[in-house]
Structure 1
Amino acid sequence: MGATALKWQGWLVGLVGLAGLLVFAPLGLYVWASGGDRDPAAPPPGPVVQDVRVTACRVDPVSRRVVGVVEVTGRPDAGPGSYVVTVEFRDREEAGGRAAQALVKIPGVAPGATERGEALGPVWPPATVPWCGVAAAEPAPETR
């Protein structure tokens, strides 16, 4: 094996190492930035989630669909606005498996005021009691 062959092998090892770095470095940064130690069942951190709660969770007797009543309290330090809330429906409070979700938009929430909305979920099995919770919430731009 000559010096030329060793030179090409060195370049090949360097290029493979660089390719690996280009592929796995963004993945590592994504995992690090996403905060892997956060509980996946907890709502995402942020000031909006504290302003939102589910006040009732029931099964509609006619349609057999689960309904979650959502309550949003406007922040006193912010102007009026709308909220988009993701409500999660499960058969028990503990997270496990895949849960059904629904979006509800609550428009016109004034500072300090409380507004309500209903999230309509899937048809619910007769023998189980539903659990409803806030999966996410964010302010929505006002549309006119």
Structure 2
Amino acid sequence: MPRWLVVLWVAMGALVVLVPVGAIAAYIYVSGEVHADMRFPSDDVTVARCALDPATGRPVAELSVTSGAAREGTYTVTVEFRDEREKAVDRGTGTVGGLAVGATGRTAVVGARAYGGGAPRCVVLDAEFESTEPVATATR
């Protein structure tokens, strides 16, 4: 077999391997760049206090929401109440409406039933943001 044919086969084989690897690397790079500034509404929510209501015995999560969104909107937050073994015992939802860009709002989420075992643990399970301001008037 002539030497030039061997070089051609090796070069073709390298292309068959390197082109898909390069495409995958480029996809990963671009994907990272596109999602670099991605934010989630749950990043804006903090559990300020988690305790039992002394009168009812129900778990209460006091939430603080500082808007990192580009527009005014409403946050809907789902909190899960867990026991000492991290088992979910209850769940509740709270909202903070009309929150301006950069503003902080508070809400309390109360469990549906009394909790009997020790101090509960409050975990933000989900947070959703719905803009109440049209895109054309957004400040950012």
What TM-score comes out, normalization by structure 1 length? 0.59
Distance (whole Å) between structure 1 residues aligned to residue 89 and residue 56 of structure 2: 20
Higher-Rg member (1/2): 2
Distance (whole Å) between structure 1 residues aligned to residue 123 and residue 47 of structure 2: 6
Give the residue type in structure 2 aligned to 1:108: G
* Residue-pair matches, total: 94
SS in structure 1 opposite 2:101? coil
1:79 corresponds to which of 71, 80, 83: 71
2:81 corresponds to which of 50, 64, 89: 89
Counterpart position of 1:117: 107
The residue correspondences of 1:1-144 to structure 2 (distance < 5 A) are: 47-75=40-68, 78-92=70-84, 95-96=86-87, 98-121=88-111, 122-125=113-116, 127-140=117-130, 142=132
Distance (whole Å) between structure 2 residues aligned to residue 132 and residue 117 of structure 1: 14
Distance (whole Å) between structure 2 residues aligned to residue 99 and residue 107 of structure 1: 27
| CA RMSD of superposed structures (Å) | 2.0
Distance (whole Å) between structure 1 residues aligned to residue 92 and residue 130 of structure 2: 16
Query: What is the CA-CA distance between 1:141 and the residue it aligns to?
Result: 5.1
SS in structure 2 opposite 1:124? coil
Q: Give a deviation string over 1:98-130, Cα, whole Å, max 9, x none.
A: 4411011111111111100000113111x4111
Query: What is the CA-CA distance between 1:46 and the residue it aligns to?
Result: 5.4
SS in structure 2 opposite 1:49? helix
Q: Percent identity?
A: 34
Q: Give a deviation string over 1:28-52, Cα, whole Å, max 9, x none.
A: xxxxxxxxxxxxxxxxx95111111
Give the residue type in structure 2 aligned to 1:85: V
Q: Which runs of 5+ in 1 are unaligned?
A: 1-44
Q: Decide whether the 8 Å contact of 2:78 with 2:92 is kept in 1.
A: yes
Distance (whole Å) between structure 1 residues aligned to residue 40 and residue 127 of structure 2: 9
Distance (whole Å) between structure 2 residues aligned to residue 113 and residue 83 of structure 1: 12
SS in structure 2 opposite 1:69? strand
Bigger share in helix: 2
